[in-house]
Amino acid sequence: MSELTLFKSGAMLPDYLRSEPDEMTKRLAGGNAGKSISTEGGVFRMIVGGDEIAKNEDRSMNMVFVNAAKDVSRTYYVGAYVKGEAASPVCASGDGKTPDPSIKNPQSKSCATCPQNVAGSGQGDSRACRFNQRFAVILEHDLSGNVYRLQLPATSIFGKPEGDKMPMQAYARFLSGHGVPLSGIVTEARFDTSVSVPVLKFRAVRPLSREELAVARSQGASDDARQAIEFKLAPPKEQAAPALPPAFAKPAAEAEEAPAQPTKRASKKPEPVAPTKDVSAVLDEWGSDDE
């Protein structure tokens, strides 16, 4: 099975039921929640509104990439990932060049010079600020069905090919060299079992037919595809941001003018302090008031 199925029996959804959810379904679902494919734990998972509703434990899945974010984004979180906790990043960039205007604690004016973009700022030799890119995909056996958001981390984007299994950028260069559009190919996304973290590698399975290509192009121009590749941050959540290194502090010229120092006056000689009464004497006085 190479798809996320809706029905336990494995039956496909008939065409006469393919439409926008009715108002009742939208109300119960909490709105028109986007659909995404997560690879957490090395398993393909269908996520709707933050909840997992289906999964496919096969090592690979066939899909068609119908749209992609123009730029590789960046996100920086503080602390370890906690499953089920949708924390918003401390800093993030939609274009991978400068922090998004909504960020309250940008770590630098430029991503290129950011201290969180230095090798070793994360665990081991990794960078604390992570690369990612968003794609809109449809499944091979359900081309006219759901459009899913697939967000790839740096390990699935960059790197060298291994035979016909390639990270995304190498795969796109391979197709481009043959004059083939990514959206015109059924692509196999397969987990790389040689590493401990979920990493996807890609290879071409087959070309789309003319009819399938028309469907894929229509899906790529849809509102669902546009929303799938849109750069959106999680709802704001208080998260302590580390202090910036001195090299990235405001220059003296930009710093706020320090308030004028108060005029110093000669301090008066402190008057002698009366010796403190013995505790027993104080208690005696309290007792004498009660008599």
Tokens at 291, concatenated: 């008599």
30-35 contact pairs (CB < 8 A, 24+): 34/149, 34/224, 34/227, 34/228, 35/146, 35/147, 35/148, 35/149
Q: Kindly report, residue by residue over 103-157, the tens digit of the pLDDT.
A: 988 999 999 999 999 888 888 788 899 999 999 999 998 999 899 999 999 999 9
pLDDT, residue 261, reads 54
Q: Output the DSSP codes for 176-206.
A: HHTT--GGGEEEEEEE-TTSSS--EEEEEEE
pLDDT, residue 282, reads 43
H or E element, residue 138:
strand 129-139
**Phi, psi dihedrals of residue 272, rounded to the nearest 5°:** -60, 140
CA distances from 266 to 25, 260, 269, 271 (A): 78, 19, 9, 15
Q: Which of the 8 DSSP states describes residue 244? A: P
pLDDT, residue 244, reads 43
DSSP-derived 3-state class of residue 136: strand
pLDDT, residue 115, reads 92
pLDDT, residue 164, reads 83
Determine the Cα angle at 216 with ends 212 and 219, to 5°.
Answer: 140
pLDDT, residue 203, reads 94
| Pairwise CA distance, residues 125 & 121, whole Å | 7
| Pairwise CA distance, residues 56 & 45, whole Å | 6
pLDDT < 50: residue spans in the chain? 1-2, 31-32, 236-259, 279, 282-283, 286, 288-291
**Phi, psi dihedrals of residue 101, rounded to the nearest 5°:** -60, -20
Q: Which of the 8 DSSP states describes residue 13? A: P
pLDDT, residue 224, reads 93
Q: Name every residue whose Cβ is closer than 8 Å to that of residue 174 and which is 6 or more positions away in sequence.
A: 161, 166
DSSP-derived 3-state class of residue 151: strand
DSSP-derived 3-state class of residue 168: helix
| Pairwise CA distance, residues 199 & 174, whole Å | 19
Give start and end residues of each alpha helix (H) in the chain. 23-29, 154-157, 168-177, 210-220, 223-229, 279-290
Q: In angstroms, how far is the first alpha carbon of the chain from the final one?
A: 95
Candidates 94, 134, 141; CA nearest to 224 is 134
pLDDT, residue 162, reads 86
| Pairwise CA distance, residues 103 & 94, whole Å | 11
